[in-house]
Amino acid sequence: MLKPSHSVVLFICLLFNQQAYAFLFGAELRGNITLEHRQFFHEGSLNQGTAQSSLILNPELYFKSDDGNTSFTYEPRNRFDRLDDGRNQMDLRQGLFQYHKNNFGTRVGVGQTFWGVMESVNIVDVINQTDAVDTFDGSEKLGQPMLNIIIDSEYGTLDSYYLPYFRERSFAGYQGRLAFPGLANQGANFESGLDEYKGDFAFRFSQIYGAWDLALSVFHGTSREPYYTINGKLMTSRQPGESIIPSKAINIAPFYAQMTQYGVESQYAIGDWLLKLEAVYRKCKADHTAVTLGTEYQLYGLEEYIGLELDGHELTVYGEYLYDSRGDRAFTLFQNDIFLGLNWNLHDFRNTEFQIGLFQDTTDIESRIWQLEVSSRIITDWKWSLSGHIFDSQSPDDALYRLREDDFVQFGISYFL
């Protein structure tokens, strides 16, 4: 874990010594500082407050050798939250040495690795642990210690990973939001006797065949998605109608089992259309299959469609179906859902972008998630963003029910260096 002083020192360098530091050490200093505020519409299910403000320091130091083969990235992320001590965070997102020459590459240190092709949820993305206090949908990840060996050939790219240390999922504290407040105060349990020191292995083969992108992967190690123990009893599936929101009267803690995951990612381009697939089979304490199918379509020159002068605007629409064989017994929110999304990029000098999305449960028509995000530059180094989430659920049998009081809007302003 990092101390706040690390980020403070880097930001002093960023603010006052960017050019001198680059001249003396050959490194590039960059990053951003963000002030964000979440305003919830209701008190939480455990009487948590409705206002939540955070200060985020995210500096980055980047070095690249003259020959371009070697680089190093150092990126700590520190969050200071007004409402929730569990959301105070000092995480090393990247501390990564990279080398690549000809057909061989390696990455050593703490890094980020993304797998997946879908817009809604990436079920194959298993290397990094989810940062659950940052976003509810799993899109933000913690840094992962790793050794990554990359071998390129005419037949494709093979990535091999050794992950020597497991990162526990971050959760909100008792006063925090969104889901599972209080889990940050509980100790985790592990199936392996080595706990977080049980090393993981992963392999991924990827290749492009004309208009078709294909990737096959296998992961063996500690599952990033926890089960839960309630008063010492292990729950390998969710019991519909039974709340598992922690309280001071219930001892609930995450349990991390051993897992083998086999994954497929596929993307095929047909004109302006993309056809996409992610699928996994997970062999663990509750074996299951998950599949996401989707399509994406891009429209350019929108004046042709709506009769307005919108030169340079780009509109992308998404449609995806999310399936999990565990059904209502899965801890995930998305077991049999449709995602519909729209992204409107104005490609203007302010880089204005508008996104809207809907997750609709196909078995419970009263269960859905609405999300909206708008962002734009104010001036060269400043950017604002506005987002909102509405969690609509009426049935206690629904996994989304625990978020029914957590509708919120969030405003952020960032300064980039």
**Tens of pLDDT, residues 383-415:** 999 999 999 998 888 888 888 889 999 999 999
pLDDT tens, residue by residue, 88-120: 888 899 999 999 999 999 999 999 999 999 999
Rg (CA), the chain: 22
- What would the pLDDT profile of 178-223 be if each residue is shown by its tens digit? 867 777 666 899 999 999 999 999 999 999 999 999 999 999 999 9
- Would you say residue 2 has pLDDT above 50? no
Q: How far apart are CA 335 and CA 87, in angstroms?
A: 28
Provide the mean pLDDT of the chain. Answer: 87
Burial 276-288 (b: 16+ CB within 10 A, else e): bbbbbebebebeb
More confident residue, 355 or 395: 355
CA–CA distance from 177 to each of 40, 115, 245, 417 (Å)?
Answer: 9, 27, 11, 30
Q: 291-337, pLDDT tens digit by residue? A: 999 999 988 755 555 555 556 678 899 999 999 999 888 888 888 99
Contact (CB, 8 A) for 284 and 299: no
Give residue 72's pLDDT: 95
Task: Measure the CA–CA gap between 154 and 152, rounded to whole angstroms.
Answer: 7
The CA distances from residue 354 to 61, 137, 342, 376, in Å, are 30, 19, 8, 9
CA distances from 214 to 70, 274, 298 (A): 28, 13, 21
Comparing 18-22, 172-176, 290-294, 411-415, the range with the smallest average pLDDT is: 18-22
Query: Contact 255/231 with Cβ under 8 angstroms?
Result: no
Q: Give the C-alpha separation, 93 to 77, whole Å.
A: 6
pLDDT at 183: 75
Kindly state the average pLDDT of the residues 155-168: 96
The pLDDT of residue 46 is 77
Query: What's the pLDDT at 35?
Result: 96
pLDDT confidence tier of residue 12, bands split at 50, 70 and 90: low
**Could you tell me the pTM of the whole model?**
0.88
Is residue 281 scored above 80 in pLDDT? yes
pLDDT of residue 24: 47
